[in-house]
Structure 1
Amino acid sequence: MATLALVLSACDSKVGGTPQAAGTPSSSPTSTTATGGSSDNPFAGMDPCKLLDQVLAGQGYPAAKRSDADAAHNCDTKKTDYGVIGLALQPGQTINEITTAPGKAVTGDVNGRPAVQERDALGGTGSCDVSMEAKPKSRATVLVTLQTAGTAEACGVANDVSSKVERLLPANG
């Protein structure tokens, strides 16, 4: 987790783009391969709720449910008195189109996959999003908002969960 945080936070490349609305700690996924997607949708056949449940297994989170925002692609789960972790699998949207505050976004990678981390994406402390590239022109985004912790902890959780999710995504080939 420390290496991943350094990779994303050590970069200082600012990300531009038009803000668009988008739609957390240690257990290993049980599978490291993802089902193949179609050429237009790398996430075809993937369920963001099942994927999120898999990477959060044993962490005390209830089963993920479809999010109110873009329910076709987003799921989230909330641990009472701690925070919310979400996962969005969004075909046709790139990692650079997610930024809501370009000055707060940095580029980097998650396990070698191009990524953008945005701190305090919702305008307040305690939030952090990590969007990972999925070709062609698609992204998987881990969204973390913590109630009782700051941005640094939110980004640590987002980095950890992103690393686990990345292993389950289709290869970027």
Structure 2
Amino acid sequence: MTAIVIVIGTLGISACSGKEAGTATPAERDSSTTSAPSVGNQNVFANMNACGVLDELVAGDGFQPGENKTARNECVATKTRYGSAGVVLDPVQGLEEFRRTDPDSVEIKINGRQALRSHDSDGFCDIAMKVSESARAIVGVSPVGSADFDACTDTKKYAEELEPMLPKVQ
């Protein structure tokens, strides 16, 4: 799997299927990032901002504030001599699309929720969690340089913290 140059690593590849026109505008952080929103909306993540969620997940871990560099609801935060952590809230692609992108992904459970883990030889690690047949949340860690840690350990920690914030599985 090829890493995306903006330190998203496999997170960017597994999360995107095409380009969307528009300008990304970060939403203000509010309490909607801390509790699971209603699933009644067409966009199950309409009330969630990936940067607000990510900043909450990595708070106290030495990361820069998260940045959204696309029109999608995704965010990446960087940390010197570590790499990056990211969150993608994808209302249109489910776990099947994730598996098609990475057929070697492994089925796991995060706090009882169905998920897939993808790990490559460069050390990148993503965990995609099911929200519905056509929606998923992805958290990932991409080490840089000689970062000496297991990205999947950190990815699992962040996934376990993110899972209770997500809408209940439809």
Aligned position for 1:129: 126
8 Å CA contact 2:39–2:168 kept in 1: the answer is no
1:162 equivalent to 2:159? Answer: yes
The alignment's TM-score, normalised by the length of structure 1, stands at 0.73
Question: 1:45-72 CA distances to partner (integer Å, 9 max, x unpaired)?
Answer: 110000000111111111101034xx32
The residue correspondences of 1:71-90 to structure 2 (distance < 5 A) are 71-90=71-90
Aligned position for 1:60: 62
| Higher RCO, 1 vs 2 (CA within 8 Å, ≥6 residues apart) | 1
Report deviation, 1:21: 4.1
Runs (5+) with no aligned partner, structure 2: 1-12, 17-32
8 Å CA contact 2:51–2:66 kept in 1: the answer is yes
Report deviation, 1:35: 2.4
Paired with 1:125 and 1:65, the residues of 2 have a C-alpha distance of: 23
8 Å CA contact 1:38–1:44 kept in 2: the answer is no
Runs (5+) with no aligned partner, structure 1: 1-19, 24-30
8 Å CA contact 1:87–1:143 kept in 2: the answer is yes
Paired with 2:40 and 2:69, the residues of 1 have a C-alpha distance of: 24
The residue correspondences of 1:14-93 to structure 2 (distance < 5 A) are 21-23=14-16, 33-68=35-70, 71-93=71-93
| Structure 1 vs Structure 2 CA RMSD | 2.0
8 Å CA contact 1:33–1:167 kept in 2: the answer is yes
Aligned position for 1:12: none
Report deviation, 1:109: 1.1
8 Å CA contact 1:76–1:84 kept in 2: the answer is yes
- What is the identity percentage for the equivalent residue pairs of Structure 1 and Structure 2? 33
